A and B are shown apart, each in its own frame.
Chain A
Amino acid sequence: MSSIKIELHENQVKELVEVCRSFNNEAGELINVLHKAQGIFGYLPAEVQEIVARELKVSVAKVYGVVTFYSFFTMVPKGQHPISICMGTACYVRGAEKVLDEFKRKLKVPVGETTPDGKFSLNCLRCVGACGLAPVVMVGDKTYGRVSPDGVKEILAEYA
């Protein structure tokens, strides 16, 4: 996974080190730090986790253990337009699965991955709490309600 080392930008690393310092480099703040780190880098590559481990004085294995436990954290860069399909129960019984299948077919990527052009990434999430609009799809911060499989094409067209 990290056999190919990626290079991190110096100013982003500085910002991350600063974030750790703002949390007093306390190991107990690991999850807060990872949230901020994902905010800075967009994702959590191995190198970022190594810096966090070093700054908070915890093992890299532990950081990786935490990152892989929580679905909010990702080690894969998200697409320019991250697509999330709500798989909450309300959306499920109103056909979210079919909408998801349509996205998979149109984008030709499985859940959790990004299209080769880096434009879209596809993910599921559990209930955004907009059950009245079920099924719900989010693209970036924008919410689409009552999405049908036929509507997938239109949504994607907006970002063409």
Chain B
Amino acid sequence: MACLSTSGRVVCGSRRQQTHKLLYQLLGSRPGYTAPSAATGLFSPPKVQQQAMRLCHGLSFSMGKDYPDLLQSPHKCSQSLQYSQSSKANLRQHSSVHTQQPAGPVREFQIDPYIILDDDLKYFYDDVRYLLKSGTSQPELDTIASYYFDGQGKALRPMVTMLMAKAINYHLNNESHQLVHKQRQIALFSEMVHSASLVHDDVIDQSDFRRGKPSVNALWNHKKVTMAGDYILSIASIMIARLRSDDVTIVLSQILTDLVQGEFMQLGSRETENERFAHYLTKTYRKTASLIANALKATAVIAQADDNVAEVAFQYGRNIGLAFQLVDDMLDFVSSTEQMGKPTAADLKLGLATAPVLFACEKMSIGYASKVASRRRNDDVFMVPAVKYPELNPMVMRRFSEPGDVERAFELVHKSHGLEQTRFLAKKHCNEAIRLAQELTESPYQKGLQVVADLVINRMK
């Protein structure tokens, strides 16, 4: 309990033990009483039991034993989805009656970043749409450009950006409204650049659906869609230029060059087998993590934080971004189309070999992967002898272009440990992110940053 109240989270490595400990304490059970039965037992008062259940659920995905279940039973996934919704409702209840709740670790543990940032995120998409509308006199351009700002996205980037911004402001003891407003513009920028890249990706990939609705290229002239992407970028750049900070503009412009370079990396697949994983990670950094890392760094720069704090923000964002994409690549194999709002195995169909495939290939030694991904030691998962499928190699080289390649690769990835190893790598990045967040002064936002790491690793869509 004490450990929870100080860190606001459970350390992943020993999470199972801590969960058990937590359950004992919550339920007031005797030592020796086993945790699983405690969770299902009916003897405790309903309220306490409910909380215990919630904690148990929230943590369950990070336990190794649940992972195979997760892969095999979509039913369980949907349960957890429903569950997380009800958890939000519960939290609202809590906050409205919080004076009656015992002050303490339980509530802190449940910090929901989306709720503590409600003020900043509530009208977020309205503001983007207003901005896009004010920059053009052409209604069709406005319609295409605003299409993905319908509020249906996860808004992960703006949420993390605002969390970091406020955690840094607290850290620096400077929480002026003016500063927060500027940082919110940076959050707007991150979401706008992300959407602009989605719009251009849609023209490149020719996929028909995104986020559960027809993609822009299915609805409009591809030339106009291309221009709409450029338009979003130009409006975002004008907005940032108006912050009148040279350094912020420089930091954020790095995002754009990285994004394009990442796309170019995705075109080529000539690397040797050993280089492939490094190539994949660099590509992932440029395409996904750079945006989050640099946006977070920009919030530090505009708050005039010193280089160390800016570096913490950057590295936190980089780790969260890498973890996010690794989980995304994993979900591409395990999620159903309805959950993702886009077709699954989409990467294979596009000819892309992501982490799960690379892990399943033979020559790619896992020890090497860990060296690339992180400089930390004690990677116990690498004790597990992995099942390797060298026959994937030629498929990777020909970008899964022959008939049956996609299906066969999909099957082999599931047979191998590729998915688990991808997840493990993602988790390591999340742990690193949590460690970095702890370098900032403790605050609800700083705790929120740690919760985000859990959300990223446990997300189902």
Q: Do A and B interact?
A: no
